[in-house]
Amino acid sequence: MSVPDLSAGPDRVTGRLLTMKLFLSLLLFCFVSFSSLVLAKTPGEVEVGGTLRDITMQGLSGPSRKLSEFRGKPLIINVWASWCGPCRQEMGSLERLSRSKLGRQLTMIGISTDDYPEEAKRFVRTTKTTFSHFIDSRLQLEHMLGADRLPLTLVVDAQGKVLDKYYGAQEWDSPEALKVIAKTLRLPL
CATH number listed for the domain at residues 56-185: 3.40.30.10
For residues 129-138, give the mean pLDDT. 94
For residues 22-34, give the mean pLDDT. 49
Q: What is the reported pLDDT for 32? A: 44
Which sequence spans correspond to the domains of the chain?
6-38, 56-185
3-state secondary structure (DSSP) of residue 37: helix
State the Cα–Cα distance between residues 29 and 127, nearest whole angstrom.
46
Please report which confidence band the pLDDT of residue 137 belongs to, taking 50, 70 and 90 as the band edges: confident
Please report which confidence band the pLDDT of residue 51 belongs to, taking 50, 70 and 90 as the band edges: very high
pTM value is: 0.78
For residues 47-66, give the mean pLDDT. 96
Structure-model confidence comparison of residues 71 and 34, the more confident one: 71
Question: What are the residue ranges of helices labelled H in the chain?
Answer: 10-38, 85-99, 117-127, 140-145, 175-185
